[in-house]
Amino acid sequence: PKPGVYPYLSGLNPAQHKAVTADPAVPLQILAGPGSGKTRVLTSRVAYLVQHHKLFPHQITAVTFTNKAANEMRKRLEKLLGPKLAGGLVLGTFHATCVRFLRRYGGLVDIPNNFAIADADDCKKIVAGLIKARAEHLEGANISLKDRAVLSDISKAKSRGETADAMAIRAMNEPSASTSTTAVIAEIYGEYEASLRESNSLDFDDLLVYGLKLFTGSPGILASCHHILVDEFQDTNVIQYELMKCFAKAHQGVTIVGDPDQSVYGWRSAEVENLNRMKKDFTGVKAIYLEQNYRSTGSILSAASTLITQDRDRPPKSLYTSHPKSTTVNLKTFSTPVIEASFIATEIKRMIAYSGDVLNHGDFAILLRYNALSRVIESALQKDGIPNRIVGGHKFFDRLEVKDLLAYLQLAENPNFTPAFIRVVNTPKRAIGDKSVADLVAAAKRAKISPMELCERMTDGDPLPEGIKAGLKNKLASFVGIVRKLRRAAQKGSSVADLLKMVVDKTDYENYLKTTQQDAEMRLENVKELISFSVTIAEEQQRQANADQDNPSFVPASSAAMEAYVMSQVKEEKPDLAVRPLFRRRSSSVSTSVAAGSKAAGKGKTAAKGKGKKGKMREEDIFEVLSSDEEAEKGKAAKKREATRNRADSELSGEESKEGTAANLNPLSYFLQTSMLSTDTENQNQEDQASVPKVTISTVHAAKGLEWPVVFIPAVESGTFPFYRCVEPAEVAEERRLLYVAMTRAQLFLTMSHCQFRMAGGDEKDRSVSEFIALAQKTAPTHFSADLPDIEESGRKTISSMLERPVPDESGMKDKIMKHVRAAPPLSTWDAPEARDSSFNRFARREVTKATRAA
Ligand code: ATP
Ligand code: MG
């Protein structure tokens, strides 16, 4: 390529350049340590595939580990390619990508396209209910089950692709002791699945399970995918790996990047083994290694590498940096977490003051082994007025008020979603007791309809079902009225902000919060935040819809063209397939639709080739592909589906089926889909928008792939690193990698600390420094120091050279520093007793002496 044509190539080192420009027909693995530019290479490769290899954006699927990472990648690609092209890429997590396809083609795997996504909380409630129903049996068999543990077993089974039946069979083959437990869990698993299907919902794992089912059953859907790229590949599980294979199937274009040293999701069934699987499943896999770290100072890199090399089973890997060595990693001992937390707050202020305001709050991150550690830290920062945000902590979408309002919207969208019904039928209070709710659910079950529908029918004058009293019916009237009103407004295309305001208004929600919640004010703020979030999402939908419009051959605005294109691909693959539409207008008969379907399939090529030209096919037709011999068998199922569909249709007062593209989803569906997905791991979009820079408090897991100039890792101590429950060698190794991930997030300054006491389960426990760090300190004592990092002259030099920031104006700085020194807490505050009077105090005293002299 001519220099200057692809500006992003010029900054790359030779290995990175090779990786970006490698032949797209050869499956590629890019394996390298933290900060070596893997994500940057992946992003550049996407741009290069579009610009040099002339792939259409919609022919490229890029998968990231979190929604946040997807947003960042999109932003960067918008810069490289322009918003139009970048908008057309299929870019997101595996979950989000599957949702996008399921919304549209879910019918092919018996998933109605208005499905709800059940969040962890909903799922836990279902499992808890199933355990409770077996209480007697379990007690008799001396089995104790916890909802969380059962759910995690189910989730693990799903990510291995194990069904409830398969689990039951496995249980039979197990030695007797554990047989009974596994058998019970398998039973619960089966009922749990039935319950989700009944309420027309999928849990997070299902999104992948059904996505995979869809793609393996109808590979034509992915025929337009020419290249799939996966970031953080070391953390994919088996089902995600299989998904990747589906995307790569048509054209064998596949690029993955990963780092086995950073695999930290073994507990969630991720398998590093996928790297080897890929070598077997694809021919001629090429590997490229990157060895230069661009993120961190030499000191941080050496300290981190001392840690990771403690793992003896790990193949050696080289990683170097041309950055200065700079300040040694800071290691501190404190007596208690409160002191530790206020130290961190003071350090943040000190660093900002000493940097001459070149550093700001957004440059700092505090990384934690688990969520609960954030409480003390948060309050210390708040006390000092340091703006902060919590990632991966108590999530925005987990908050009571947010869940209540979402539940109303979910019910309006999908009346079958019973968890939402149970949540809000008596919220705000309508004097409907738990017993009445249980009666309603039971009566609905008998009538084989959803509780919501039952209530609606009762309100419409259907005879009262057995066991339901007229009084209850009257109490339900206002509730049914609200849900119906919302549904009608949503169908008319009302904005989500208006729908939310409608819920708040009609339920007198503000008053409800004020009378029932102590922190009503704060919760009202969250309600407001949710409304502004919905506005952001609406804008995003508009943007995506515009992009879809420009890409008529992939999930396009014109579904006719898309269907036609997909059908033509399917036909080419399997000419003997019988093709007929699944969901039709009630007026059209099956036979005519078959004809229309094949005709459209024939036209598809023209439609696809003459990009943008709409096929003649009807927008609302979604096709089902059946092989002829399976036809009869599946015909029955299809009939049943149709019946359900018609019912859903009538509930939706004859509205057409909703489809998965941004352009075709109504604002409510799009909003629900986006907000339910963001409950998955991290992501608080609405906070990202805030213009004030904030200190990030995050779990290490949620910090993967990210970087900050200054990183604190508190609680690097026994019981925390490794986490006390991790005792098996493999688990301990994963804990070590987790600490390695945490350390390698830091660019310039890294402070690790531990306390001598920390509460655990209500007791104060003696703690010592993490065994990983104790060992690292022993093998390489010079890599760690108790002295505070130097932000004076040399520190400032590093900041401006590594972060490419201006050197601060030295004249005004003295005052700032003095102001800080005067305001800093008394000298004896920090450090555990035996460490007292050392580093910080020496340092502070020196400052005071200097200042006094100057005065
Ligand atoms: P991780 O394993 O933590 O995900 P990574 O390998 O994905 O790390 P990146 O996040 O892509 O690494 O890059 C780390 C930092 O180094 C980023 O700030 C990136 O912009 C920068 N970087 C990468 N390559 C270069 C380069 N050739 N020149 C300058 N900076 C670079
Ligand atoms: Mg990365």
Task: Give per-residue pLDDT as tens, 479-519.
Answer: 999 999 999 999 998 999 999 999 999 999 999 999 998 88
Ligand 1: distance of its center to the CA of 322 in Å?
A: 13
Task: Give Cα separations from 286 to 256, 257, 364, 846 (angstroms).
Answer: 11, 12, 38, 57
Ligand 2: distance of its center to the CA of 42 in Å?
A: 9
Beta strands 60-63 and 329-334: pairing type? unpaired
Strand spans (E) along 37-82:
60-63
- For residue 764, the surrounding DSSP H or E stretch is strand 763-766
Q: Judge contact between 694 and 389, C-beta under 8 A.
A: yes
Of 295, 308, 711, which is best to mutate to test ligand 1, by the most ligand atoms within 8 angstroms of its C-beta? 295
Using a 6 Å cutoff on CB, does residue 92 contact ligand 1? Answer: no
Amino acid symbol at 499: L
Using a 6 Å cutoff on CB, does residue 253 contact ligand 1? Answer: no
Q: Which ligand is nearest to the CA of 259?
A: 1
Tell whether pTM > 0.80: no
Distance CA 602, CA 773 (A): 66
Q: Is 38 annotated as a binding residue?
A: yes
Distance CA 298, CA 303 (A): 9
User: Nearest residue CA, atom 16 of ligand 1?
Assistant: 294
3-state secondary structure of 581: strand
Selection from 124, 151, 155, 146 nearest residue 269 by Cα: 155
User: Nearest residue CA, atom 11 of ligand 1?
Assistant: 37
Beta strands 577-583 and 60-63: pairing type? unpaired
User: How does DSSP assign 292-353, residue by residue?
Assistant: B--SS-HHHHHHHHHHHTT-TTSPP---B--S---SPEEEEEESSHHHHHHHHHHHHHHHHH
Identify the sign of the CA torsion 175, 176, 177, 180.
Answer: positive
Distance CA 194, CA 113 (A): 18
More confident residue, 548 or 18: 18
Distance CA 719, CA 766 (A): 10
pLDDT at residue 651 tops 50: no
Instruction: Tell me what percent of the residues of the chain surpass a pLDDT of 70.
Output: 79
Query: What pLDDT, on a 0 to 100 scale, did the predictor assign at position 221?
Result: 87
Q: Is 337 annotated as a binding residue?
A: no
**Strand ranges of the sheet holding 90-92, from the earlier edge strand across to the other edge:** 90-92, 60-63, 227-230, 254-258, 28-32, 286-290
Q: Which ligand is nearest to the CA of 293?
A: 1
Using a 6 Å cutoff on CB, does residue 258 contact ligand 1? Answer: no
Of 6, 8, 13, 39, which is best to mutate to test ligand 1, by the most ligand atoms within 8 angstroms of its C-beta? 39
Distance CA 240, CA 218 (A): 17
Using a 6 Å cutoff on CB, does residue 12 contact ligand 1? Answer: yes
Selection from 167, 633, 677, 29 nearest residue 397 by Cα: 677
More confident residue, 112 or 619: 112
**Mean pLDDT over residues 90-102, rounded?**
92
Beta-bridge partners for 699: 368
Q: Is 545 annotated as a binding residue?
A: no
Using a 6 Å cutoff on CB, does residue 35 contact ligand 1? Answer: yes
Q: Which of 144-153, 224-233, 606-615, 754-763 has the lowest mean pLDDT?
A: 606-615
pLDDT at residue 454 tops 60: yes
Query: What pLDDT, on a 0 to 100 scale, did the predictor assign at position 178?
Result: 58
Which ipTM did the prediction report? 0.99
In degrees, rounded to 5, the angle at the alpha carbon of residue 548 between the alpha carbons of residues 415 and 113 is: 20
Ligand 1: distance of its center to the CA of 324 in Å?
A: 16
Instruction: Tell me what percent of the residues of the chain surpass a pLDDT of 90.
Output: 50
Query: What pLDDT, on a 0 to 100 scale, did the predictor assign at position 663?
Result: 58
Using a 6 Å cutoff on CB, does residue 294 contact ligand 1? Answer: yes
Using a 6 Å cutoff on CB, does residue 699 contact ligand 1? Answer: no
Ligand 2: distance of its center to the CA of 733 in Å?
A: 21
3-state secondary structure of 116: strand
**Mean pLDDT over residues 58-72, rounded?**
90
Query: What pLDDT, on a 0 to 100 scale, did the predictor assign at position 582?
Result: 31
**Mean pLDDT over residues 532-548, rounded?**
78
Of 21, 30, 40, which is best to mutate to test ligand 1, by the most ligand atoms within 8 angstroms of its C-beta? 40
Q: Is 34 annotated as a binding residue?
A: yes
Query: What pLDDT, on a 0 to 100 scale, did the predictor assign at position 167?
Result: 93
pLDDT at residue 777 tops 90: yes
Q: Is 33 annotated as a binding residue?
A: yes
Number of H helices, E strands in the chain: 35, 19
Ligand 1: distance of its center to the CA of 853 in Å?
A: 45
HEC assignment per residue over 377-411: HHHHHHHCCCCEEEECCCCHHHCHHHHHHHHHHHH
Q: Which ligand is nearest to the CA of 744?
A: 1
CA 100 and chain centroid, separation: 15
Q: How confident is the model at residue 613 (pLDDT cuts 50, 70, 90)?
A: very low
More confident residue, 846 or 43: 43
b/e map 358-374, b = 16+ CB within 10 Å: bbebebbbbbbbebebb
Using a 6 Å cutoff on CB, does residue 235 contact ligand 1? Answer: no
User: Nearest residue CA, atom 31 of ligand 1?
Assistant: 294
CA 86 and chain centroid, separation: 21
Q: Which is the closest atom of ligand 1 to the Cα of 12? A: 27
Q: Is 216 annotated as a binding residue?
A: no
Distance CA 580, CA 517 (A): 54
Q: Which is the closest atom of ligand 1 to the Cα of 16? A: 27
Write out pLDDT tens, residues 400-443.
Answer: 899 999 999 999 999 999 999 999 999 999 999 999 999 999 99
Selection from 655, 631, 375, 642 nearest residue 490 by Cα: 655
pLDDT at residue 601 tops 70: no
CA 582 and chain centroid, separation: 32
Q: Which ligand is nearest to the CA of 291?
A: 1
Ligand 2: distance of its center to the CA of 39 in Å?
A: 4
Q: How confident is the model at residue 796 (pLDDT cuts 50, 70, 90)?
A: confident
Q: Which long-range contacts (CB under 8 A, 24 or more apart) does 358-362 make?
A: 358/796, 358/799, 358/800, 358/805, 358/806, 358/807, 358/808, 359/709, 359/710, 359/799, 360/693, 361/386, 361/387, 361/388, 361/692, 361/693, 361/694, 361/695, 362/693, 362/694, 362/695, 362/696
The pair of three-digit structure tokens given for residue 637, joined into one six-digit string: 């199922």
Q: Is 547 annotated as a binding residue?
A: no
Query: What pLDDT, on a 0 to 100 scale, did the predictor assign at position 680?
Result: 41
Q: Which ligand is nearest to the CA of 802?
A: 1
Distance CA 401, CA 503 (A): 12
> What proportions of the chain, in percent to the nearest 5, are helix, strand and coil?
60, 10, 30
pLDDT at residue 784 tops 70: yes
Q: Is 32 annotated as a binding residue?
A: yes
Of 16, 31, 76, 294, which is best to mutate to test ligand 1, by the most ligand atoms within 8 angstroms of its C-beta? 294
Q: What is the DSSP letter of 765?
A: E
pLDDT at residue 738 tops 90: yes
Ligand 2: distance of its center to the CA of 705 in Å?
A: 4
Task: Give Cα separations from 630 to 55, 595, 627, 633 (angstroms).
Answer: 37, 19, 6, 6
Ligand 1: distance of its center to the CA of 36 in Å?
A: 5
Distance CA 427, CA 515 (A): 13
Q: Which is the closest atom of ligand 1 to the Cα of 43? A: 11
pLDDT at residue 594 tops 70: no
Ligand 1: distance of its center to the CA of 296 in Å?
A: 10
Distance CA 582, CA 107 (A): 7
Q: How confident is the model at residue 392 (pLDDT cuts 50, 70, 90)?
A: low
pLDDT at residue 605 tops 90: no
Q: How confident is the model at residue 194 (pLDDT cuts 50, 70, 90)?
A: very high
**Mean pLDDT over residues 647-651, rounded?**
37
